[in-house]
Structure 1
Amino acid sequence: MIVKILYTSGPNGHFPAISYNTGKMDKNKGELMRVANFGPLQRLGLLRPSDYRQYLRMVSATNKAVTKPQFHVAISAEGKSYNKQEITDFATQWLERMGYGKQPYLIIFHSDTLNNHVHIVSTRVDKQGKKIRDSFEQIRGQEQMNIILGINEKHNTQRDISKALEYQFATKAQFMMLLECRGYVLKEAGQVMQVIKFGKQQGEVSIAAIEERQKEYAPNEKRRVQLKALFHKYAVLHDTGLTKNRTVYTSAFSVVLKEKFGIELLYHASVDKAPYGYTVIDHDKKQVFKGGEIVPLKELLAIKAVSNKKPSDTSIESNKAFKFLTTEKKEFYSSILKAVLHNYPDMMQGLQHQGLMIYRKGESFYLHDPGAGLYAGLDKLLNESDYNLVVENFSQAQETSEELYRQHHHFSGINLASDVDDEAILGMKRRRKQKARTNLR
């Protein structure tokens, strides 16, 4: 279970996390799980986000020295290992241990990522006007959650080190990456490598042990050829274009490899410069490769540029060919699209096989047949049910793409969750389903 304290706050304590989380609920991606310590406000029945926001501002106003009183936290499980009620209960215990048990707070469950998680919104000022202790709160927060879960972090670290030493790696730097991608910081000190997490040294590994394992490295040519074929197959189906969050680069292609095959791509870049290379960690076969040994980065990105080149808005708007197609031709495209949606395990794979592309402009979707040089609005070809299925497929692909940099995928037997920070959600808006309004809207 990962605890992430989100250091965001509006001017003068506007509590933007209230709007962020209620916005999730408005999109059917969030559910209010618990409201506590709002006094008489809780007995008023149907409440608006502004009611909760005003109450938190009122409490915060008792200490003008605290200029950013919003306390916003995300607590995330690994995948679906805990359900929404279990995570809510853990979050409630955690608030008690962090000194927020008597504070007014909201707990909202989010269902829009691969990992079940909740968000907590409260204030750093108590009802007596005192600021709640916040020194080393990120480190303390994770420590307290580990205590709740009965986790011995030093034991886990030693297990992670042992697992990393089972991999085939050619350099000390590659070994370090095996642990760094699990959230550790490594520091060389004499004859040992210190392994640090949550700001504390949790263990160490001798340089001699790393070098001894390094000597056993044996290139696996057969696996390299397999990976090269796999990369080329999936690079034409999923966008290899890189996006950046803070210092982490990712792509839809990277996500698919990690989710489907346990192959992790780590991109290397200097500050404020595009990546110059990458490393491939094959968790399935416990092997580390230089990315250039599989497919050079420039070549990998070029596959995307050739296969997924998007038309301009002008070309879509100016295309008139579809208006003159016969009814039979329209039915032909309609039947192909239905086959893509219902007869293939993956929509993008179906489109690639049929030589077609689908693009989004604004809230509209278009079919593109490069061979015929035409574009057609999907609403002219599909019924509402199939149109919504296209929308859903695109939405899921976008959400999966932005999830990669939040996740810490684990070695077999290691229980690590993603470091959730979804202040900004990428991807298109889904058509909103009809659902009863909540008391937070």
Structure 2
Amino acid sequence: MIVRVMDPAGPNFPGVHYNDKKIDKGTGELMLMKNFPSFINESSSKEEVRNYLRAISIGNQRVQKPQFHAMISTKFQGHSKEELTKIAENFMDEMKYGKQPFIVVFHKDTDNNHVHIVSTRVDKQTGKKINDSYEKLKAQKALSVTMEKLYGQKPEEELEKLLNYKISSLSQLETLLNRNGYKIGKNTNDENSFNILKNGVIQQTLSGNQIVFDNSKNEKRVKQIKAILSKYKELYSNKVFKVEDNRKNEAALPKEKTIDGGNDSKMKIAFESELQKKLKDVFGIDMVFHHKEDKNPFGYTAIDYKTLKVYKGSDLLKMNEVFEFTSDKLDKKTFEILKDYNIRSQETKNILLEFFKKNNPETEIKDFMLFENRAKKDLETYRRVQFEVKDFIRNNKNTNDEKKDISITAAEDGKLYAVHTRFHYVGELQQLIGEKEYQKFLNPQGVNEMQTENRTENNEKSELNKAVNEMLFELMKSSGTTKDPAENELKKRRKKRR
């Protein structure tokens, strides 16, 4: 979960217009309007919303750029639009904007679900400017408090557990913290102390004598890890490729000095392989490579989450005995997307590989860059995939349309698969949509013919019924009454009895 506060903007509140365009295009949805008067609601125009925000802001002429605009994003579909809206509402409370008029708009035009929030920086009640000192850092803290309040996430407890790991050097501590979303840097006021930060917010300050090094070895566990490495390098790809993250720091946080005096503002590089992922998922062993600039790694560290111990790689097996390094590379965003696909077999891996070769040839994705992932999509995501694929095959058979999130691809054996690029899903079409819809997709002409036959048969039945009714009507007319002749005969018999 990340938050980004945009730079302040002028009195025309361009954020309202931006979000309104998303809504008009169908890629945005207004989720919440809070603290507006009753005559300004979901049915109001963007001009009415902007005029109201402007009316509040104009009372303070010293605030030249009154727009407050923030974005909160989750990883892929990690949180629903309703959950993100609740997070946004609580976030605004923490930012002291809880009583301000603001809108929350959900966007679904990227891989990550996210919401935009727009308000005014001029206090509705006092007319004063809401304090924006260290605003970006405040936003990180506000989001952290919100996540703890709503989901029980407690960074301080997580950090305390990490600080109890057995380490033999300061660099091992830095590696451990980095892998879990923290940074450690020198305290500018005390050279013997270190600040531990998360999203730019200081979580804890450690003095040098608080860090305890432990050089003891668990020989039994070392043997186990060696055996695991030797076995699994034969079962899963050990080909290592470079992952480059050249995305801008979305939170625009201050640059922090690392332990060695540098800073981490430049492009981040990691080295990844399927073997690493499998070791972490199955055994809780995280293999982290060390390198200089963009050169190949010179060593590795193993973090054992099972026994809370950090190992120097050379104490286990030599790096080149376990891994094979390639010259291939991927950008971080593409890598994260590929990892999220539900690749449950070699067949689905082949389908995806061919799909990306055809649709994204410039990325040059190789077989070993697609990792086995047997985790199932959550039920809500699966139902949405199911609904959208059914809708796609009913209404649009042009599977080559590049603008679509959905593609129907055939395997070598002719079996059809659906690939959904927004939800990172690949699966057999027949299982996904059911036999009836599948047959309609395979033979739409046959379905049309059957419908035509049914209509013809129904028409014939209708004409027959009409003819019978006309014959009965003529028969009743000939008897001089519209009543049934048998009914008249029955009445005559009753009269004779009297």
TM-score (norm 1): 0.54
Is 1:121 the counterpart of 2:118 in the alignment?
A: yes
Alignment partner of 1:386: what SS? strand
Q: 1:194 to 1:397 in 2, by over 3 A?
A: same
Q: What residue number does 2:325 align with?
A: 300
Q: What residue number does 2:100 align with?
A: 103
Amino acid of the residue matched to residue 3 of structure 2? K
CA shift digits 1:182-222 (9 cap, x unpaired): 324343757765545554463536646521x2444768365
Is 1:392 the counterpart of 2:392 in the alignment?
A: no
Q: What residue number does 1:182 align with?
A: 181
Amino acid of the residue matched to residue 220 of structure 1? V
Q: What residue number does 2:277 align with?
A: 257
2:422 and 2:172 mapped to 1: Cα distance? 35
Q: What residue number does 2:14 align with?
A: 15
Alignment of 1:24-423 (within 5 A): 26=25, 31-39=29-37, 42-43=40-41, 45=43, 47=45, 52=49, 56=53, 59-60=56-57, 63=60, 65-66=62-63, 68-75=65-72, 84-85=81-82, 88-109=85-106, 118-127=115-124, 130-144=128-142, 149=148, 156-157=155-156, 160-167=159-166, 169-180=167-178, 181-187=180-186, 193-196=194-197, 199-200=201-202, 202-204=204-206, 207=209, 209-211=211-213, 213-216=214-217, 220=222, 222-223=224-225, 226-227=228-229, 241-246=243-248, 247-249=267-269, 257=277, 260-261=281-282, 273-274=293-294, 277=297, 281-283=303-305, 286-288=308-310, 293-294=318-319, 299-302=324-327, 346=343, 349-350=346-347, 357-359=354-356, 386-387=408-409, 390-393=418-421, 396=424
CA shift digits 1:272-312 (9 cap, x unpaired): x536547554545645466895469995343669xxxxxxx
Say if 1:9 and 1:16, in contact at 8 Å, map to a contact too.
no
More relative contact order, 1 or 2 (CA 8 Å, 6+ apart): 1
Give structure 1 stretches of 5+ with no counterpart.
306-343, 371-376, 399-441
Larger Cα-atom Rg? 2
Q: What residue number does 1:4 align with?
A: 3
Say if 2:185 and 2:195, in contact at 8 Å, map to a contact too.
yes
Pairwise CA RMSD of aligned residues? 5.6
Q: What residue number does 2:493 align with?
A: none
Amino acid of the residue matched to residue 358 of structure 1? F
2:26 and 2:319 mapped to 1: Cα distance? 41
Alignment partner of 1:42: what SS? coil
Identity of aligned residues (%): 24
Give structure 2 stretches of 5+ with no counterpart.
249-266, 331-340, 368-397, 410-415, 427-498
1:239 and 1:394 mapped to 2: Cα distance? 25
Q: 1:79 to 1:44 in 2, by over 3 A?
A: closer
Amino acid of the residue matched to residue 105 of structure 1? F
Say if 2:162 and 2:177, in contact at 8 Å, map to a contact too.
no
Say if 1:254 and 1:264, in contact at 8 Å, map to a contact too.
no
Q: 1:242 to 1:395 in 2, by over 3 A?
A: farther
Q: 1:97 to 1:253 in 2, by over 3 A?
A: same
1:244 and 1:229 mapped to 2: Cα distance? 35
Amino acid of the residue matched to residue 164 of structure 2? L
User: Deviation at 1:105?
Assistant: 1.1
Say if 1:172 and 1:214, in contact at 8 Å, map to a contact too.
no
Say if 2:40 and 2:48, in contact at 8 Å, map to a contact too.
no
Q: 1:232 to 1:26 in 2, by over 3 A?
A: farther
Say if 2:240 and 2:326, in contact at 8 Å, map to a contact too.
no
Amino acid of the residue matched to residue 187 of structure 1? K
User: Deviation at 1:95?
Assistant: 2.1
CA shift digits 1:41-75 (9 cap, x unpaired): 62472645x66456546655555654554323344
Say if 1:231 and 1:295, in contact at 8 Å, map to a contact too.
no
Alignment partner of 1:358: what SS? helix
Amino acid of the residue matched to residue 212 of structure 2? I
Alignment partner of 1:245: what SS? coil
Say if 1:103 and 1:122, in contact at 8 Å, map to a contact too.
yes
1:163 and 1:3 mapped to 2: Cα distance? 22
CA shift digits 1:385-416 (9 cap, x unpaired): 73495441586289xxxxxxxxxxxxxxxxxx
Say if 1:249 and 1:267, in contact at 8 Å, map to a contact too.
no
2:206 and 2:218 mapped to 1: Cα distance? 22
Q: 1:232 to 1:195 in 2, by over 3 A?
A: same
2:20 and 2:291 mapped to 1: Cα distance? 33
2:145 and 2:99 mapped to 1: Cα distance? 20
Q: 1:136 to 1:162 in 2, by over 3 A?
A: same
Say if 2:301 and 2:311, in contact at 8 Å, map to a contact too.
yes
Amino acid of the residue matched to residue 129 of structure 2? K
Amino acid of the residue matched to residue 184 of structure 2? V
Say if 1:240 and 1:300, in contact at 8 Å, map to a contact too.
no
Q: 1:253 to 1:37 in 2, by over 3 A?
A: farther
1:260 and 1:240 mapped to 2: Cα distance? 20
CA shift digits 1:355-395 (9 cap, x unpaired): 97333566999xx9x9xxxxxx9859xxx873495441586
**Residues 132-141 or 74-83, more deviating:** 74-83
Alignment partner of 1:72: what SS? strand
Amino acid of the residue matched to residue 179 of structure 1? L
Q: 1:352 to 1:81 in 2, by over 3 A?
A: closer
Amino acid of the residue matched to residue 420 of structure 2? E
Q: 1:205 to 1:125 in 2, by over 3 A?
A: same
Say if 1:157 and 1:203, in contact at 8 Å, map to a contact too.
no
Amino acid of the residue matched to residue 274 of structure 1? D
Q: 1:209 to 1:76 in 2, by over 3 A?
A: same
Q: 1:281 to 1:70 in 2, by over 3 A?
A: farther
Q: What residue number does 1:420 align with?
A: none
Alignment partner of 1:161: what SS? helix
Q: 1:394 to 1:100 in 2, by over 3 A?
A: closer
Alignment partner of 2:97: what SS? coil
Q: 1:253 to 1:57 in 2, by over 3 A?
A: farther
TM-score (norm 2): 0.49
